[in-house]
Amino acid sequence: MTGTPPILMTGVAGFIGHATALRLLDEGQAVLGIDNFNDYYDPALKHARVAQLQQRAGFKLLIGDVADPDTISDVVQRHSIRRVIHLAAQAGVRHSMNAPFNFERANLAGHLSVLEACRRASHFEHLVYASSSSVYGNRALGRAGFGEEDATDRPVSLYAATKRACELMSESYASVYGFPQTGLRLFTVYGPWGRPDMAYFKFTRAILSGQPIEVYGFGKMTRDFTYIDDVVDGLIGALERAPGRGENRILNIGDHEPVGLMSMIAMLEAALGQSAEIILRPMQPGDVAETYADVTRLQNLIGYRPKVKLADGLARFVEWYRDFYLHG
């Protein structure tokens, strides 16, 4: 609608940011995206994502660091921002062991900068931010999976600790300043335009180049793989239904159907038409054995139902990978 402030999206060049921005633009929303294009993985992929967005009416890109409070505050004030989707973060459970201060700055300082900017904004409506299934730690599964009320006080990686800290910061800001917030605990998001550090992406690259793949946890781990389009359904649905004033609502977004790692590899082999040479390794520090999302809250809120099964989603990813890397 003409005159309506844009939605501010941090991390717009990232996997989930790109997909969410595309959907919002398709729906006629204006999106103001910010990203610093860091080199945790190949910035060329990030620039390719943003190039797609820049072809759409209603999109504007800003290059900046969310951990700089003046930058975010200025953007929010200058553009009269009322809704923010905060996805910018330093990702990677294993990477957090090697570069801990990157996580301090991007995740903790970055989240605090966004909170400060939102609480000072006039007529602010809703902050949606990305958390992670990693906050649940390494624990036994219940019959319905990890629920939002389950304990989250034993993180097994610094990455998980920063994500839980962000939830707690949001809880305090919602309580003190009153603006509505929603934290989304995302479960193993995959699909076209995905992150090259994720296992399915690395496995694809290795298999196609004739290299062996290293499978940790001796292949016994399970993950609640969630296709990117289903994640965007949940994210935008939550954005459009803000909680009450002073509430920091926490929601799982997952597939609610965990799959064993070896089963995932078999599906990937089928999609590729090639077999993998597998080297089994023990579990790495910071990893968890299994994840499983209880999505009852999100179902009750927006009627959330994941649509894309893992075999189909991997086939779509392989098609994109071949087109982008081999035929592009």
Residue 77 has pLDDT above 50, yes or no: yes
pLDDT band at residue 280 under the 50/70/90 scheme = very high
CB distance 76 to 116 below 8 Å: no
Domains of the chain (ranges, CATH numbers) = 7-190+226-255+295-306 (3.40.50.720)
pTM above 0.85, yes or no: yes
Mean pLDDT over 2-14 rounds to 91
Catalytic one among 41, 136, 159, 190? Answer: 159
Q: Give the phi and the psi of residue 50 in degrees, each rounded to 5.
A: -65, -35
The structure tokens 């969630």 sit at 226
Residue 1 has pLDDT above 50, yes or no: no
In terms of Cβ atoms closer than 10 Å to its own Cβ (0-12, 13-18, 19+), residue 49 is buried
Q: What is the mean pLDDT of the chain?
A: 95
CA distance 258 to 229: 17
Residue 85 has pLDDT above 50, yes or no: yes
159 is catalytic: yes
Share of the chain above pLDDT 90, in %: 91
